[in-house]
Amino acid sequence: MFAYRDFDQINDSHVDAYIDITYPYTPLISQLLYEQKPFQSLLRVLDHNDSDVVDCAIGSIVNILYGIVMESNRVYVHPYYNDLAQIGGIGKIYSLFKRNVSEFSKSTSAITIGVAFRNREIADYSMKVEIINHLKQIINHRSEDMRREVKFALRIEIEKGGFKIPD
């Protein structure tokens, strides 16, 4: 539906229904959704004019990414990174971050990039600095879910070089 419909035919009830499938996130749900190849369609929706629709689309992406790695060891790279990068997803998400459509989309884009780059260096220095700075600014966000995801993304970034934060 998100891949081919005109944006005027995609509204918040459509993306609300999809994000409800992605949350609460679990590795199993994340894997099942990933097998349906959702990223291309969800990335397309990031260009929608309705900020609520955009928020749900980026929320769905991060939930799928977060769900597969939330309960695993931190050693390996994100298993969905290559697929996301090959279709230009990293750049598209970073563009959304810079567009500042809403507080939610900006923060969720930063978390999404942080999680996607699990155990990988963010080669674009400007992107790295902007994302890390934003994550540090929202570490005490009012939403418990947002705080947990921000801490996870920052932990991923800090531990890339082998440094371990004691639990």
Is 0.85 surpassed by the pTM of this model? Answer: yes
CATH of residue 19's domain is 1.25.10.10
Structurally, the chain folds into a number of domains equal to 1
Do residues 107 and 151 touch, judged by C-beta distance below 8 A? no
Distance CA 25, CA 23 (A): 4
The 10s digit of each residue's pLDDT in 43-91 is 999 999 999 999 999 999 999 998 888 766 655 788 899 999 999 999 9
Residue 1 inside a domain? The answer is no
- What rounded mean pLDDT belongs to the chain? 89
Distance CA 76, CA 88 (A): 22
Nearest of 13, 119, 120, 112 to residue 60 by alpha carbon: 112
Q: CA angle at residue 21 from 139 to 39, to 5 degrees? A: 75
Residue 167 inside a domain? The answer is no
Domain that holds residue 30: 7-161
